[in-house]
């Protein structure tokens, strides 16, 4: 995929956010800020971006965005429950209407529990929280990260359109 094609869902998301005067905050673990960095490539991104949190460790997730250690213990750091708390925490901490949480296992190699390429997403859109899990497969660490950021932009666009608050 060309970089121009890769940017398309981010440009679409930016357009929707800007047209509705909405702001997004991201809490990123396995993507390590790639979602935020890609959105920031679009001129005017500061009109729609609030905060970006890179929260790799459980400690960072807890201290910076309020993810419950109990949630991580009960469901795992790579879980829809954790991803939803990440999205909610990012949105609340930033005072943003939209939040996204991305947590996963990009590899390399297997940890014996999670499949390489599993990513859980949480989305906070107009007071509702959504989650999904996508198994991208063992495509290499950086490709999983790219695909996860791309998917988050695509899914946020879908959720904004489906849950319009006009």
- How do residues 78-125 score in pLDDT, each as one tens digit? 999 999 999 999 999 999 999 999 999 998 877 778 899 999 999 999
The CATH number of whichever domain residue 158 belongs to comes to 3.90.950.20
Structural domain count, the chain: 1
Asked if the structure places residue 1 within a domain, the reply is: no
**pTM confidence score:** 0.95
Average pLDDT over residues 53-62: 96
Domain assignment present for residue 55? The answer is yes
Is 4 domain-assigned?
no
Quick check: is 147 in a domain? yes
The residue-averaged pLDDT of 14-19 equals 96
CA-based nearest residue to 9, from 160, 166, 155: 155
pLDDT tier, 53 (very low <50, low <70, confident <90, very high otherwise): very high
Structure tokens at 163: 């849950």
According to the model, what pLDDT value does residue 97 have? 96
Q: In this structure, is residue 151 part of a structural domain?
A: yes
pLDDT digits (tens, 9 = 90+) for 124-148: 999 999 999 999 999 999 999 999 9
pLDDT tens per residue, range 65-80:
999 999 999 999 999 9
List of residues 6+ apart from 128 with CB closer than 8 A: 163
The answer to whether the CB of 139 falls within 8 A of the CB of 150 is no
Structural domain contains residue 127: yes
Q: Are 119 and 133 in contact (CB under 8 A)?
A: yes
Query: Is 5 among the domain residues?
Result: no
Is the pLDDT assigned to residue 166 strictly greater than 50? no
Quick check: 165 pLDDT over 70?
no
CA distance 132 to 152: 10
Residue 137 lies in domain: 12-162
């Amino acid at each position: 995929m060309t970089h121009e094609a890769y940017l398309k869902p981010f440009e679409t998301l930016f357009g929707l956010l800007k047209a509705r005067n909405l702001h997004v905050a991201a809490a990123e673990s396995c993507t390590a800020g790639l979602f935020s960095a890609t959105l920031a490539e679009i001129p005017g991104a500061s009109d729609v971006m609030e905060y970006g949190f890179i929260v790799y460790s459980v400690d960072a997730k807890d201290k910076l965005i309020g993810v419950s250690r109990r949630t991580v213990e009960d469901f795992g750091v790579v879980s829809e429950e954790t991803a939803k708390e990440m999205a909610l925490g990012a949105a609340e901490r930033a005072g943003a209407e939209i939040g996204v949480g991305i947590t996963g296992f990009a590899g390399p190699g297997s940890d014996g529990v999670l499949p390489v390429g599993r990513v859980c997403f949480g989305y906070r859109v107009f007071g509702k929280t959504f989650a999904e899990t996508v198994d991208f497969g063992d495509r290499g660490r950086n490709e999983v990260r790219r695909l996860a950021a791309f998917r988050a932009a695509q899914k946020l666009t879908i959720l904004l359109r489906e849950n319009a608050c006009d």
